[in-house]
Amino acid sequence: MILPPTIPIFPLPNVVLFPNVFLPLHIFESRYRSMVKDALAADRIIGMVLLQPGFEADYEGRPRVYPIGCAGVITHAERLPDGCFNIVLRGLEKFRMVDEDTSLAYRLAHIEAVPDVATDTDCAAIKHYRQRLEALLGASAAQRRPEMRLPSTVPDQDLVNALAQYGAFDPIERQALLECDGVLSRCVSLIELLEMKTMALRGNNWAGGSVH
């Protein structure tokens, strides 16, 4: 799906969407309920962006966001009796905000697509790294959650993006992973992050054991 030049954006302080990963959302603010209604009546596309630190002072307005986000398409929508929505987005493609339209209550961004291009060589490298990723996933207590035990049938690139989105990372770490130049770069950065967290866990366990 080709991204349109202007899309609604949904800024949150702790959520980063990645291509081809699903994201459930509960929409309750009036301006974003309007955004969902308009999206459902059109192409069903919404762009997820991360709020920059310090957003609290201007949350009701238009606080600063990171310019790189990921667009998603609404695959499921349930309108609740109180007018709120439960929706599911599937990540489509990264984008860069180049300007913002302030004509509506919710936020609209003029964007340009930033495709996550993977060459055959990149795909082969990601396939090679997959075993290391899965080993780190099992070793890191930060990742020992049932939803992170992804089946072996998940394609390599989708595995990288799912781990980046749902791993136990800070929002800024997720944003840095999203901004990586392609899936191979994201895969390598993801391995480095998991290795650091695994080493920190081992250090904490050692320190904890030394007290007794």
The whole domain housing 134 covers 120-207
* Same-domain status, 43 and 140: no
Within a domain: 193: yes
Question: CA–CA separation, 186 vs 94, rounded Å?
Answer: 13
The mean pLDDT value for 193-208 works out to 69
What's the confidence (pLDDT) of residue 59?
72
Q: pLDDT (tens digit, 9 = 90+) per residue, 136-150?
A: 877 654 445 544 556
Q: Give the Å distances, CA to CA, from 117 to 14, 25, 113, 142, 157.
A: 26, 27, 12, 29, 11
pLDDT greater at residue 197 or residue 66: 66
Q: What percent of the chain has pLDDT over 90?
A: 73
What's the confidence (pLDDT) of residue 202?
63
Q: pLDDT (tens digit, 9 = 90+) per residue, 29-49?
A: 999 999 999 999 999 999 999
Among residues 114, 142, 170, which one ends one of the domains? Answer: 114
Please tell me the total count of domains within the chain. 2
Within a domain: 185: yes
Q: Strands 22-27 and 6-12: what pairing? A: unpaired
What's the confidence (pLDDT) of residue 211?
34
